[in-house]
């Protein structure tokens, strides 16, 4: 049994209202048949179409659930994806306004920016590498429109993979000679270490995550294009943040990036 269009649209509206009012809503899964991932992506698409109709510009995708530990917690064996819009991008070091993200947490990631389309029906890792113009260190400020982060897979998928904002570093690095699997990461909050990790924590290599996304986007009829930003997934545990926090991330070979919270 699958969810009706009316149920999908109602759930999408509930998530939009939570974002607009700053008041989280209950889990979406309560309105859907158990484990209905197709319905969850349908909810995400309704809100994507709504955003595009309102004039927002799609600039890329984010990949979630790239950690095997988190996958096990949610009972899944693959990542998920969400949309990145231009108004979600923050400049390196700029302050996130209070309430800018509901229930914010931060993750350190490798961002890839594509220089070529990836339209092939079965893209390979070599295709992904050839299509990547450069990599950047990044911070994803994840948020949940679901109250108290009470989420399962269908909740986060419907909620645009819990996307909030993202911050990119400013010094692009070519992939030539760069081993993202071994790229160590440290994240600090006002000098105190709050997360450690490496590229290997992201599906074994951030490029593996990008390959999964490239294949998935072709399969759903929306292949990645030149200029797209790909947030490849967390390199270590995410951490909560509060007003007044300043978060610095350093990734070996890529440099640093900062997010501040007013």
Domains and CATH numbers, the chain: 58-261 (3.90.850.10)
DSSP 220: T
How many angstroms separate the CA atoms of 194 and 212, rounded?
Answer: 28
Residue-wise pLDDT tens digits, 30-89: 999 998 999 999 999 999 999 999 999 999 999 999 987 777 766 777 899 999 999 999
Count of alpha carbons within 13 Å of 34, Cβ hemisphere only?
1
Asked if 229 contacts 113 with a C-beta cutoff of 8 angstroms, the reply is yes
Residues of the chain with pLDDT below 50 are none
In whole angstroms, how large is the CA radius of gyration of the chain?
17
How many angstroms separate the CA atoms of 245 and 262, rounded?
Answer: 8
Count of alpha carbons within 13 Å of 222, Cβ hemisphere only?
12
Q: How many CB atoms lie within 10 A of CB 168?
A: 19
Q: What is the pTM of this model?
A: 0.95
Q: Nearest Cα to 235, choosing from 187, 163, 176?
A: 187
Q: How many CB atoms lie within 10 A of CB 219?
A: 11
Q: Which pLDDT belongs to residue 258?
A: 98
Q: Which pLDDT belongs to residue 168?
A: 98
Q: Which pLDDT belongs to residue 73?
A: 66
């Amino acid at each position: 049994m699958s969810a009706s269009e009316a149920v999908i649209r109602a759930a999408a509206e509930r998530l939009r209202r939570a974002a607009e009012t700053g008041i989280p809503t209950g889990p979406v899964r309560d309105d859907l048949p158990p484990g209905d991932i197709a319905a969850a992506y349908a909810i995400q698409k309704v809100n994507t179409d709504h955003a595009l109709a309102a004039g927002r510009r799609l600039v890329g995708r984010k990949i979630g659930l790239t950690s095997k530990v988190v996958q096990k917690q949610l009972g899944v064996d693959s990542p998920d994806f969400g949309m990145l819009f231009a108004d979600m991008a923050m400049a390196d070091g700029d302050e996130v306004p209070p309430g800018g993200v509901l229930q914010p947490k931060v993750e350190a990631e490798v961002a890839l920016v594509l220089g070529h389309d990836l339209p092939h029906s079965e893209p390979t890792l070599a295709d992904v590498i050839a299509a990547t113009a450069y990599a950047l260190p990044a911070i994803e400020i994840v948020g949940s429109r679901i109250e108290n982060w009470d989420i399962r897979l269908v909740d986060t998928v419907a909620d645009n993979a819990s996307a909030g904002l993202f911050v990119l570093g400013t010094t692009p690095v070519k992939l030539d000679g760069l081993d993202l699997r071994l790229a160590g990461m440290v994240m600090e909050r006002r000098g105190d270490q709050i997360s450690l990790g490496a590229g290997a924590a992201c599906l074994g290599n951030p490029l593996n995550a990008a390959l999964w996304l490239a294949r998935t986007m072709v399969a759903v009829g929306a292949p990645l294009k030149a200029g797209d930003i790909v947030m490849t997934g967390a390199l270590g545990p995410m951490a909560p943040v509060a007003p007044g926090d300043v978060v610095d991330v350093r990734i070996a070979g890529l440099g640093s990036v900062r997010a501040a919270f007013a």
